[in-house]
Amino acid sequence: MDIYLLEAIINGLLLGGVLALLALGLNLIFGVIDVVWIAYADIVMCGMYVIYFLYAQYGVPLPLACLIAIAAMAAFGVMVHLLIIAPVLNSPPLNQLLATGGLLFFLQSFATLLFGTEFRNIGVRLPILEIATIYVSFARLIAFGLGLVGAVALYFFLKRTYIGTAIRAIAQDRDIVGLMGVDQRRIYLVTSAIGGALAGLAACLLAMQYDVHPFIGNTFGPVIFMICVLGGLGNMIGGFAAVAYPAEYGNSGIMTFIINNDGDIYEKDLGEGTARIASRITSFNPDHTWRKVVDTEK
C-alpha cells in the first residue's frame, strides 16, 4: 500500500472519532425526539466561535474555555428545542425539516453578519508525530481519544442512570413511556442538552484542527448525515460503527477527503466518495435505514 494513502487513512480514522461523536449526538436526538436537526453541524460552528473568543481574544485558559463552550452549547440545545422544535413537534416531517433548515441559514447568516467571513484560528500548535515515515497529527490523536471518552461516557450514562433508562425507553416507545408516568417534555429537554453538549465537545476538538468561519458546518454536516443514514437514523451503535466505513475508499473516500480539504479537490472528489457510499447503504442496512421514512409515509 502506498505510504501516503496509509497515512491519509490513519488520519481519516482519527478524525472519525470526532465525527462519531457528532453522529451519536444527532442519532440520540432523532431517536428520542424523532426530529432531524439539519443545523446540528452549525451548532458546532457556534461552539468553535465561543472557544475562539474566550481563548484567543480574552485569554481564558483553553480547558476552561472548552468547559464553558460545552455548557453554552448544552444550553443552546435546550433553547433550540423550546423555541424551534417544540412548536413543530407534532407537525408533518417536512415542516420540521424546514424549521431546522431555517435555523441553519439563520446561524450562518448571523455569524457572517457578526464576525465576517474571515478564517480565524485559536493559535494552538501541537506537534506532528512521525511513526515509521508516517506522519500523524497529535491534535487528531487527542481528539480521537477524547471523542472515545465522550462516547463511552454517554454509553454508561444511558445504561446506568435513571434518566438514561428513560431516554432509551422513550426512544423505543414514547406512548407507553408516557403512560408509565415519565415526563416526556423533560426527557426531550435533557436529550437536547446532551446533544448540544456533544456538539460543544466536538467543537473543542475541531477548533484545535480547523479554522472557524461561518460555513465550517458545511464541511462536516453532509458527512455526519451520511454516517447517520449509513448506520441507521436513530441507531447510535450503527452510527458509531459506520464512521470507519468510508475509509475503505482511500483517496476518493470522505475521511481522506476532509483531511485534504482543498477547494476544487473537495468539490471534485466528494461526489465520487458520496456515490460509492450511497450505493452501499441499502446493502449495509436496508431495513432500519428507511424504516422511519416508510412509517411516516404510511
Residue at grid coordinates 444511558: 158
More reliable by pLDDT, 180 or 196: 196
Average pLDDT in the chain: 77
pLDDT score of 269 more than 50: no
Residue 76 to residue 66: CA distance in whole angstroms: 15
Percent of the chain surpassing pLDDT 70 = 77
DSSP string, the chain: --HHHHHHHHHHHHHHHHHHHHHHHHHHHHHHH----TTHHHHHHHHHHHHIIIIIIT---HHHHHHHHHHHHHHHHHHHIIIIIGGGTTS-HHHHHHHHHHHHHHHHHHHHHHH-S--B------PEEEETTEEEEHHHHHHHHHHHHHHHHHHHHHHHSHHHHHHHHHHH-HHHHHHTT--HHHHHHHHHHHHHHHHHHHHHHHHTTS-B-TTTHHHHHHHHHHHHHHH-TT-HHHHHHHTTGGGGGGGGSHHHHHHH--HHHHHHHHHHHHHHHHHHHHHHSTTHHHHHHHHHH-
Name the nearest CA neighbour of 32 among 150, 243, 224, 178: 178
The model's pLDDT over 30-49, given as tens digits with 9 standing for 90+, comes to 888 888 888 899 999 999 99
Read off the pLDDT band of 233 (50, 70, 90).
Answer: low
Percent of the chain surpassing pLDDT 90 = 27
Task: Give me the pLDDT at residue 123, please.
Answer: 81
- Decide: 96 and 87 in contact? Cβ < 8 Å: no
Task: Give me the pLDDT at residue 189, please.
Answer: 92
- Count of CB atoms within 10 A of residue 160's CB? 9
Residue 122 to residue 2: CA distance in whole angstroms: 33
Residue at grid coordinates 437514523: 233
Task: Give me the pLDDT at residue 214, please.
Answer: 93
Lowest pLDDT segment from 1-10, 66-75, 118-127, 277-286:
277-286
C-alpha cell at 267: 468539490
Read off the pLDDT band of 203 (50, 70, 90).
Answer: very high
More reliable by pLDDT, 126 or 38: 38
The model's pLDDT over 243-256, given as tens digits with 9 standing for 90+, comes to 666 544 433 343 33
Which neighbouring-strand residues pair with 130? 135
Task: Give me the pLDDT at residue 270, please.
Answer: 41
The model's pLDDT over 54-96, given as tens digits with 9 standing for 90+, comes to 998 898 999 999 999 999 999 999 999 999 999 988 888 888 8
pLDDT score of 196 more than 60: yes
Task: Give me the pLDDT at residue 235, please.
Answer: 66
Task: Give me the pLDDT at residue 285, please.
Answer: 45
The crossing angle, in degrees rounded to 10, of helices 288-297 and 263-284 is 80
